[in-house]
Chain A
Amino acid sequence: MKQHDNEETVEVDALLKAARDPVPDVPDGLTARVLADAAALQPAQMGVMREKPGLWVRWTDLLGGWQGMGGLVAATCAGVWIGLNPPAALPDAGVLLLGYETADFTTTTAELTSFGWDLNGE
């Protein structure tokens, strides 16, 4: 009986080994489907994948990219230029808003002369 049991175990081992040894034939269609899935689900192609952009890039993107930044710089330069060298046709903002000339404002304002500073040298 014991001998018989051993024989059966050996046969099971042989059957399992035979099932293990051969490289299974994967159907060609299955391999093709798996590779097609892999291509469809692949996150990005090598070299095309972008790194996470830095803070500066994200900030400039927020302002419209290089086009937006260019416009912003041009507008800033124009504003500075007009401030330093206003065209004669432009009204004086001091007259419009405060009611007196900018020059008077800087020479007669108490805050600017009260500590012994006299901007006119008088």
Chain B
Amino acid sequence: MPSDALTTLPDDALLVLYANGDRHAAQALTARLLPRVFRQARHMLGDASEAEDVAQDAMVRLWRIAPDWRQGEAQVTTWLYRVTANLCTDRLRKRRGVGLDEIAEPEDPAPSAAQRLQDRARGDALQQALDQLPERQRQAVVLRHIEGLPNPEIADVMEISPRAVESLTARGKRALAALLAGRRAELGYDDETA
């Protein structure tokens, strides 16, 4: 099938095409899903290198399940977010016991305009705050506020009730606010609100 025509197809149809041997379907799925998987893993793990490994692993599992995928039973994105979340959880569990000093520092920002530096500083501050949240709160906050998933889909991904999702995201946001409270001036918010 021509690659242009594939962009309009839903994820599960692309997955079936891939299972039937269409090479372009893999490219379309990768272009559509890999950025989300990578972003989710990066925010969950706070480390780009580990996030690459997790994203690749999650996509491998997608390719493997393609021949057995049943169209209409589940959303591909929901399944993939769950796989990614589980892979991140495994990594975080293995990481426990590793001292804070051993965790990689966020990459240095490339020299650029002042605004870009500040954006980068804010992004790093958010990531550092996310890293301090309990794992389930972090997962819920990333899926809700960064990936933009609705609560019922997050409930499917995390295998909990939508009310539990609401509770986790609310507590997560409060915790983030508390963690970032002391860095308002550093992040330039005092200037903006004054």
Closest 4 CB pairs of A and B: A38-B26, A46-B21, A16-B145, A8-B177
Contact yes or no, A30 B34, CB < 8 A: yes
A27 on interface, CB distance cutoff 8 Å: yes
How long is the Cα–Cα vector from A16 to B19 in the complex, in angstroms?
36
Q: Which of A9, A13, A35, A48 has the most CB of B within 10 A?
A: A35
Q: Of B35-43, B73-81, B98-106, B159-167, which stretch is located at the interface?
A: B35-43
Contact yes or no, A26 B38, CB < 8 A: yes
- Closest residue of chain B to A45 (Cβ to Cβ) is B21
**Contact for B64 among A20, A24, A41, A49, CB less than 8 A:** A41
Contact yes or no, B145 A38, CB < 8 A: no
**B10 — which chain A residues lie within 8 A by C-beta?**
none
**Contact for B20 among A9, A11, A46, CB less than 8 A:** A46
Given contacts A18-B122, A19-B126, contact A34 B21 (CB under 8 A): no
Within residues 18 to 47 of chain B, which ones have a CB less than 8 A from any CB in chain A? 18-23, 26-27, 29-30, 34-35, 38-39, 42-43
Contact yes or no, B20 A20, CB < 8 A: no
Contact yes or no, B56 A44, CB < 8 A: no
A15 on interface, CB distance cutoff 8 Å: yes
B97 on interface, CB distance cutoff 8 Å: no
Q: How many residue pairs at the A-B interface have CB separations less than 8 Å? A: 110
Contact yes or no, B123 A23, CB < 8 A: no
Over the window 78-93 of chain A, the binary record of Cβ atoms lying under 8 Å from chain B Cβ atoms (1 yes, 0 no) is 0000000000000000
Interface residues on A, range: 35 or more
Contact yes or no, B52 A30, CB < 8 A: yes
Contact yes or no, A16 B146, CB < 8 A: yes
Over the window 26-41 of chain A, the binary record of Cβ atoms lying under 8 Å from chain B Cβ atoms (1 yes, 0 no) is 1101110111011101
Contact yes or no, A26 B34, CB < 8 A: yes
How long is the Cα–Cα vector from A29 to B181 in the complex, in angstroms?
38
A7 on interface, CB distance cutoff 8 Å: yes
Q: A17-B145, A26-B35, A34-B55 are in contact. List 19 more A-B contacts (CB 8 A).
A: A9-B173, A11-B177, A11-B184, A12-B180, A15-B122, A15-B176, A19-B123, A24-B35, A24-B38, A29-B52, A30-B55, A34-B56, A34-B59, A35-B26, A35-B27, A37-B59, A43-B21, A46-B22, A49-B20
Could you name 15 residue pairs across A and B whose Cβ atoms are closer than 8 Å? Answer: A5-B177, A18-B122, A19-B126, A20-B145, A20-B146, A31-B34, A34-B34, A34-B59, A38-B63, A39-B23, A39-B26, A42-B18, A43-B20, A44-B20, A49-B21
B125 on interface, CB distance cutoff 8 Å: yes
**B43 — which chain A residues lie within 8 A by C-beta?**
19
